């Protein structure tokens, strides 16, 4: 992406020169305020409004200002833009002094104009490459979308937030006025909420104290799950990785259940938290799941997604018998350890890691795998294993792996199907 942006800078420069010739307004009276020094240039003291009219930079005085680095051609930017527009409009309707200034990485003036027309806030003119570059440098912008939030009064560097995108995703407009104090307060609230978390307050609401069983008309009281280890499975039928992971989770679910029946001790259950787009998608997806589910479109789904800060699906959150969160990485643990991952506690994971280190001692140092033409070398976290995506099963891995030193192909040790070397 960076390369693409760099090569476009030539175009910006040409455009800027072309613009300079026709734009002979001469010097304007530029105020020496902080926003001016950041956002104006020596021959421009205005920003562009959505309809293209000029708005003086000085109108930002007294407002909390978000500098929004973004580009139309990049889908994560477009996704975040929608969320930011929502937050911006809410804040402005309630009279909060908040403004956003768009700093474009668009490909050309046309793309910029189209993108800008969607945005209800101000923009730096596309032709002003110098200001854009100075802002990139000053705030050390390495990737987009990026939202830098400046405070109107407190101009110290530590009052400036660099992770506005994450903050808006996590807290939305609650984070306003985006001060460090406000964020600390929100973090404290989140902590308290998690400390007082119980299965009942997570999974029920005023209108519903049950989950769906099979058939979905069967209502299973949430109370019947108290004292069990619970997996909250966030997924949807339109999500390809979710659909791919589901049969694996089904098979491991049965294995864990079987194991527990033999031990007649604790119990395990999974609850589907659906982000399907329609009832039909939900029905056919839930039909292949042997576990319980929240009803399609239930308001609790949104609350859980926020509460656990679920940023992508599929996601498997594990709750202990006391209703407290054990881990948000249930999916990863299932991929790494299958049914052995149960009950997903830190102690269990430590034990499994030790076992795997022990077992790795007897694994061949190198291996030819039927799915790959080069020799693969056994690596650990320390010798270059790190977190990876297995090229054989497409799932995450960490710790031990077989890695191709030629091309980076990497697989779980369990996924290697050794080839006859003869
Ligand atoms: Zn694998
Ligand atoms: Zn290779």
- Per-residue model confidence as pLDDT tens digits over 67-80: 999 999 999 999 99
Q: Which ligand is nearest to the CA of 335?
A: 1
Q: Which two tokens stand for residue 301?
A: 């789904």
Q: Which ligand is nearest to the CA of 408?
A: 2
Q: Which ligand is nearest to the CA of 406?
A: 2
Does the predicted TM-score (pTM) go above 0.85? no
Q: Who's near 292: CB < 8 A, 6+ residues apart?
A: 211, 212, 213, 220, 225, 269, 270, 271, 272
Q: Which ligand is nearest to the CA of 376?
A: 2
- Span from the CA of 338 to the centroid of ligand 2 (angstroms): 27
- Span from the CA of 375 to the centroid of ligand 2 (angstroms): 7
- Span from the CA of 395 to the centroid of ligand 1 (angstroms): 6
Q: Which ligand is nearest to the CA of 401?
A: 1
pLDDT (0 to 100) of residue 421 = 57
pLDDT (0 to 100) of residue 98 = 97
- Span from the CA of 415 to the centroid of ligand 1 (angstroms): 5
- Span from the CA of 386 to the centroid of ligand 2 (angstroms): 18
Strand order in the sheet with 401-403: 366-368, 375-379, 401-403, 410-411
Q: Which ligand is nearest to the CA of 409?
A: 2
pLDDT in tens, 322-365: 999 999 999 989 988 899 999 999 999 999 989 888 888 899 99
Q: What is the overall mean pLDDT for the chain?
A: 89
Q: Which ligand is nearest to the CA of 412?
A: 1
pLDDT (0 to 100) of residue 382 = 78
Q: How large is the average pLDDT for residues 116-142?
A: 95
- Span from the CA of 397 to the centroid of ligand 2 (angstroms): 18
- Span from the CA of 236 to the centroid of ligand 2 (angstroms): 34
- Between CA 351 and CA 371 the distance in angstroms is 31
Looking at residue 414, what DSSP letter applies? G
Q: Which ligand is nearest to the CA of 369?
A: 2
- Span from the CA of 376 to the centroid of ligand 2 (angstroms): 7
Half-sphere exposure of 384 (CA within 13 A, CB side): 12
- Span from the CA of 214 to the centroid of ligand 1 (angstroms): 32
Half-sphere exposure of 326 (CA within 13 A, CB side): 26
pLDDT (0 to 100) of residue 122 = 97
Q: Which two tokens stand for residue 284?
A: 């056919």
pLDDT (0 to 100) of residue 4 = 42
pLDDT at 22 over 80: no
What the chain holds in terms of domains, given with CATH numbers, is 34-192 (3.40.30.10), 199-350 (3.40.30.10), 363-415 (no CATH)
Cis peptide before 343 (omega within 30 of 0): yes
For 27-69, give the DSSP string: ------SHHHHHH-BTTB-EEE-TTS-EEEGGGGTTSEEEEEE
The total number of residues written for the chain in this structure: 422
Residues 396, 314 contacting (CB under 8 angstroms): no
């Amino acid at each position: 992406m960076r390369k693409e942006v760099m090569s476009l800078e030539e175009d910006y420069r040409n455009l800027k020169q072309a613009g300079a010739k026709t734009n002979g307004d001469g010097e304007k009276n530029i105020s020496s305020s902080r926003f001016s020094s950041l956002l104006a240039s020596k021959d421009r003291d205005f920003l562009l409004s959505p309809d293209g009219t000029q708005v003086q930079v000085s109108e930002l005085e007294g407002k909390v200002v978000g500098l929004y680095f973004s580009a139309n051609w990049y889908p994560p930017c477009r996704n975040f833009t929608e969320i930011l527009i929502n937050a911006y409009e809410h804040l402005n309707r309630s009279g909060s002094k908040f403004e956003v200034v768009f700093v474009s990485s668009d490909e050309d003036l046309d793309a910029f104009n189209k993108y800008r027309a969607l945005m209800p806030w101000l923009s730096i003119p596309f032709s002003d490459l110098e200001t854009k570059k100075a802002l990139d440098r000053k705030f050390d912008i390495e990737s987009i979308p990026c939202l830098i939030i400046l405070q109107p009064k407190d101009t110290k560097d530590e009052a400036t937030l660099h992770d506005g995108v994450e903050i808006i995703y996590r807290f939305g407009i609650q984070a306003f006025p985006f001060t460090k104090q406000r964020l600390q307060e929100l973090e404290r609230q989140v902590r308290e909420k998690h400390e007082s978390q119980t299965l009942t307050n997570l999974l029920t609401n005023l209108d519903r104290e049950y989950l769906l069983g099979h058939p979905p008309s069967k209502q299973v009281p949430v109370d019947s799950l108290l004292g069990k280890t619970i997996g909250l499975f966030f997924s949807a039928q339109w999500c390809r990785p979710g659909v791919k992971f589901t049969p694996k989770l089904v098979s491991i679910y049965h294995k864990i259940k079987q194991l527990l029946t033999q031990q007649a001790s604790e119990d395990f259950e999974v609850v589907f938290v659906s982000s399907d787009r329609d009832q039909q998608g939900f029905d056919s997806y839930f039909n292949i799941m042997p576990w319980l589910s929240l009803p399609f479109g239930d308001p609790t789904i949104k609350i859980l997604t926020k509460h656990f800060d679920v940023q992508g699906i599929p996601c498997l959150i594990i709750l202990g018998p006391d209703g407290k969160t054990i881990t948000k990485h249930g999916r990863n643990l299932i991929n790494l350890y299958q049914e052995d991952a149960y009950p997903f506690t830190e102690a269990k994971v430590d034990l499994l890691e030790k076992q795997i280190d022990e077992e790795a001692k007897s694994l061949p140092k190198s291996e030819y795998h039927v799915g790959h033409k080069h020799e693969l070398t056994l690596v650990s976290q320390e010798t270059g294993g790190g977190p990876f995506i297995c090229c054989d099963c497409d799932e995450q891995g960490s710790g031990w792996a077989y890695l191709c030193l030629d091309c980076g192909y990497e697989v779980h040790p369990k996924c290697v199907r050794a080839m006859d070397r003869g």
